[in-house]
């Protein structure tokens, strides 16, 4: 419609003012909600042709459009803005042509799809997944679904940080204090058990550090001198040297963690097409570093550590291999990036990683470029904000993180309490109730996190997220369940929807309001894909659910006696349900048909 309006406006200016207007000067946009109209022409750029006031210019163009383009039913001019109202008949025609949410999604598909890798999760095997990981996983998985909906070939990847000093900390603490404890003997999930020993290490190490500090040593030196820290470093060297006892311990404890991670991923409803392991990719990273050193792209320090000089790139000196030959995070990231490109020849590799790693990814991209990997232009750091609780920031070392499994269970329990309080599930079996509680609890969690602009820090409040009113997942889920209930009742009454009955109808203001929102769905999905922002989809779904609930409140659907009007309202209900289902699917949220 915007294109057709621009053509008619251009014609109007040519006839009225004998002038050919450059296309970029005809600015047509959706009318703001506080004004009457559907589309607005910004008149000011056309004053050079009319040689008249904005009001007079707008009036003349509006009169010409009304006379020569009957799809426009009315207009008004406010200062330098011409607001045009499109006829209800046109909106109905548009709606009938669209027919389904699938058709709307089809229009989101890009002309030239790319191969895009999305990396998310990236856990360490020294602790369980926590609230921060939940935001990471939900963002990554949703970005995958949004990009896939636009036609891209998207590969979901994960890099598991399964080696390094932090892993050795958990291993050493278990070795010293574990007494052979296993997930089976303790009844704990494997990732929780390993995380317990990471906290134990830090507590024991802290006691040693405080002892040195009290004797006059500065804190950094004290940490390096602490016996626990020294033993952890020695264990890392043994691991890299392939010491059988250390490697066997590492394999055993990591297997506990992987089983725990898989259980949490399943609960969250996320998965991966390919999982990389730092214990494998760091080896390739070391080869890449040594090759770059031989080509004098990198330099060796006096202590035999290997560095990159990135000062010409506006960065600093970057350590790539320590003096003892052990690798750092950057080393494995180099290996992982090259391995991925060799395997998939991606157009873009999106790293879903928090904003505290912004500098790291600037360095990674600059390093690969310096080493001659020109495809590194396709690396993109999707930098998102931190998630906190009302009580403040979480700290892994102190064991004050919010465990992902505990939070998921809490959300399901809260959904159970709220739903039972509302008393709407009396005729459901216990199994059906449990499934609905699960969908509502997870829907509340996912929606509350994804509705926030990813770039912003956020505070997660479990109580606010589960509210059945307002901008929440349960409110949108309830709207969908309400629509499904309408169609169950229609089927019981023998009422069938027939689109052919609504052609050539005139729509009222409320019907047009819904169709306007339908029309925004493709552009919202495209904007969400281009900006990697699930929040756009989430808030669109809320806007549509809110508008439909007002429509449902104001009008009878099945009780409408006029068959054509009843069919229109049924068709609008169906489309609303389809779009809500599709939009929430892009967020990874399941929609219960009964609530």
Q: What is the DSSP string of 472-485?
A: SHHHHHHHHHHHHH
Q: Are residues 420 and 560 in the same domain?
A: yes
Residue 327's pLDDT is 86
Separation CA 132–CA 513 (nearest Å): 38
pLDDT band at 398; cut points 50, 70, 90: very low
Length of the chain: 595
Q: How many alpha carbons lie under 13 Å from residue 355 in its C-beta half-sphere?
A: 9
Last residue of a domain, one of 388, 423, 448: 388
Separation CA 95–CA 568 (nearest Å): 10
Separation CA 11–CA 16 (nearest Å): 9
pLDDT band at 396; cut points 50, 70, 90: very low
Residue 98 lies in a domain: no
| 358-370 helix and 329-344 helix, angle to the nearest 10 degrees | 60
Check whether 192 has a pLDDT greater than 80: yes
Give the closest residue to 524 by CA, choosing from 117, 152, 113, 146: 146
What number of other Cβ atoms are within 10 A of residue 328's Cβ? 17
124: β partners? 161
Q: How far is CA 449 from CA 391, 471, 544, in A?
A: 17, 12, 19
360-361-367 Cα angle (round to 5): 90
Range of the domain at 42: 2-86
28-33-37 Cα angle (round to 5): 55
Contact 250, 244 (CB under 8 A): no
Question: How many separate domains does the chain show?
Answer: 3
Q: Are residues 124 and 182 in the same domain?
A: yes
Give the closest residue to 371 by CA, choosing from 312, 319, 295: 295
Which 3 state secondary structure label does DSSP give 27?
coil
Residue 105 lies in a domain: no
pLDDT tens, position by position, 344-393: 999 999 999 999 999 999 999 999 999 999 999 999 999 999 888 776 54
pLDDT band at 497; cut points 50, 70, 90: confident
Q: Are residues 459 and 565 in the same domain?
A: yes
Last residue of a domain, one of 388, 421, 453: 388
The percentage of residues in the chain with a pLDDT greater than 90, rounded to a whole number, is 80
What number of other Cβ atoms are within 10 A of residue 398's Cβ? 11
DSSP codes joined into one string, 65-131: HHHH-TTEEEEEEETTEEEEEEPHHHHHHHHHHH-SHHHHHHTT--SS--EEEEE----BTTS--BH
Give backbone dihedrals phi and psi of 118, rounded to 5 degrees, phi first.
Answer: -115, 115
> Given the DSSP bridges, would you call strands 299-300 and 72-78 parallel, antiparallel or unpaired?
unpaired
Q: Are residues 442 and 531 in the same domain?
A: yes
CATH number at residue 26: 3.30.1360.70
Q: Are residues 56 and 199 in the same domain?
A: no
Q: What is the DSSP letter of 58?
A: H
pTM of the model: 0.90
Q: Are residues 365 and 426 in the same domain?
A: no
Residue 582's pLDDT is 97
Check whether 151 has a pLDDT greater than 60: yes
Residue 403 lies in a domain: no
DSSP codes joined into one string, 223-247: HHH-HHHHHHHHHHHHHHTT-HHHH
Give the closest residue to 361 by CA, choosing from 369, 371, 351, 370: 351
Q: Are residues 377 and 413 in the same domain?
A: no
- Outline where DSSP puts E strands in 355-471: 379-384, 387-388, 458-459
Residue 400's pLDDT is 52
Residue 115 lies in a domain: no
Pair of tokens at residue 366: 């600059």
Which 3 state secondary structure label does DSSP give 157?
strand
Mean of the pLDDT values across residues 168-183?
97
Mean of the pLDDT values across residues 426-437?
89
Check whether 436 has a pLDDT greater than 80: yes
Residue 435's pLDDT is 95
Give the closest residue to 118 by CA, choosing from 481, 378, 418, 458: 378
595 or 285, higher pLDDT? 285
Q: Are residues 243 and 356 in the same domain?
A: yes
Q: Are residues 236 and 349 in the same domain?
A: yes
Mean of the pLDDT values across residues 236-263?
96
Q: Are residues 233 and 355 in the same domain?
A: yes
Buried b / exposed e along 515-530 (16+ C-beta atoms within 10 A): bbbbbbbbebbbebbe
Check whether 439 has a pLDDT greater than 50: yes
Q: Are residues 366 and 236 in the same domain?
A: yes
Q: Are residues 380 and 426 in the same domain?
A: no
Check whether 333 has a pLDDT greater than 70: yes
Mean of the pLDDT values across residues 200-219?
94
Pair of tokens at residue 347: 């157009």
Give backbone dihedrals phi and psi of 92, rounded to 5 degrees, phi first.
Answer: -65, -45
pLDDT tens, position by position, 499-549: 888 888 888 888 999 999 999 999 999 999 999 999 999 999 999 999 999
Those residues whose C-beta lies under 8 Å from the C-beta of residue 212, and which sit 6 or more positions away, are 221, 222, 225, 226
pLDDT band at 572; cut points 50, 70, 90: very high
CATH number at residue 222: 3.40.50.620
Residue 134's pLDDT is 95
- Outline where DSSP puts E strands in 436-570: 458-459
Separation CA 312–CA 508 (nearest Å): 63
Average pLDDT of the chain to the nearest whole number: 93
Check whether 395 has a pLDDT greater than 50: no
Contact 224, 213 (CB under 8 A): no
Contact 396, 191 (CB under 8 A): no
């Amino acid at each position: 419609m915007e294109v057709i309006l621009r053509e008619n406006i251009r014609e109007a200016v040519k006839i009225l003012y004998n002038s050919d207007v450059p296309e970029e000067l005809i600015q047509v946009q959706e009318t703001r909600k506080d004004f009457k109209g559907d589309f607005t022409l910004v008149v000011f750029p056309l004053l050079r042709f009319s040689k008249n006031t904005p009001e007079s210019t707008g009036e003349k163009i509006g009169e010409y459009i009304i006379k020569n383009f009957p799809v426009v039913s009315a207009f008004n001019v406010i200062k330098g803005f011409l607001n045009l109202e499109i006829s209800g008949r046109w909106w109905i025609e548009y709606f009938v042509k669209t027919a389904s949410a699938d058709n709307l999604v089809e229009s989101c598909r890009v002309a030239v799809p790319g191969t895009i890798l999305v990396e998310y999760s990236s856990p360490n095997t020294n602790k369980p997944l926590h609230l921060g990981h939940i935001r990471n996983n939900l963002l990554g998985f949703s970005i995958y679904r949004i990009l896939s909906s636009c036609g891209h070939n998207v590969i979901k990847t994960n890099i598991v940080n399964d080696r390094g000093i932090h892993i050795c900390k958990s291993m050493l603490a278990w070795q010293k204090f574990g007494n052979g404890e296993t997930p089976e003997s303790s009844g704990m999930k494997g990732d929780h058990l390993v995380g317990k020993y990471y906290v134990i290490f830090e507590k024991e190490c802290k006691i040693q550090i405080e002892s040195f500090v009290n004797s006059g040593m500065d804190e950094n030196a004290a940490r390096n001198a602490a016996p626990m820290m020294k033993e952890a470093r020695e264990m890392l060297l043994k691991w890299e040297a392939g010491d059988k006892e250390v490697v066997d311990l590492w394999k055993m404890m990591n297997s506990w963690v992987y089983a725990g991670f898989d259980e949490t991923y399943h609960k969250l409803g996320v998965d991966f097409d390919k999982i990389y392991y730092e214990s494998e990719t760091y080896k390739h990273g070391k080869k890449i570093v040594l090759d770059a050193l031989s080509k004098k792209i990198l330099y060796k320090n006096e202590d035999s550590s290997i560095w990159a000089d990135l000062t010409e790139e506006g960065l600093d000196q970057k350590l790539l291999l320590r003096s003892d030959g052990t690798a750092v995070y950057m080393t494995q990231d180099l290996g992982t990036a090259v391995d991925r490109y060799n395997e998939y020849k991606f157009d873009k590799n999106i790293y879903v990683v928090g904003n505290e790693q912004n500098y790291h990814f600037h360095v990674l991209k600059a390093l690969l470029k310096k080493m001659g990997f020109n495809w590194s232009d396709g690396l993109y750091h999707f930098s998102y904000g931190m998630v906190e609780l009302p009580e403040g920031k979480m700290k892994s070392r102190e064991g004050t993180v919010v465990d992902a499994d505990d939070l998921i269970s809490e959300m399901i329990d809260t959904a159970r309490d709220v739903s039972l309080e509302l008393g709407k599930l009396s005729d459901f079996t216990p199994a059906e109730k449990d499934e609905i509680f699960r969908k509502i609890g997870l829907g509340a969690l996912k929606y509350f996190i994804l509705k926030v602009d990813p770039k912003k820090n956020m505070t997660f409040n479990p109580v606010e997220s589960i509210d059945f009113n307002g901008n929440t997942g349960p409110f949108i889920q309830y709207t969908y369940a309400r629509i499904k209930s309408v169609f169950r009742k229609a089927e019981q009454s023998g009422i069938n929807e027939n689109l052919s009955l609504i052609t050539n109808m005139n729509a009222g203001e409320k019907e047009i309001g819904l169709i306007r929102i339908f029309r925004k769905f493709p552009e919202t999905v495209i904007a969400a894909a281009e900006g990697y922002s699930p929040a756009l989809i989430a808030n669109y779904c809320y806007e549509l659910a809110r508008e439909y609930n007002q429509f449902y409140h104001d009008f009878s659907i099945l009780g409408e006696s006029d068959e054509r009007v009843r069919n229109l309202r049924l068709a609008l209900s169906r489309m609303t349900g389809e779009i809500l289902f599709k939009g929430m699917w892009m967020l990874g949220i399941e929609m219960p048909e009964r609530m």
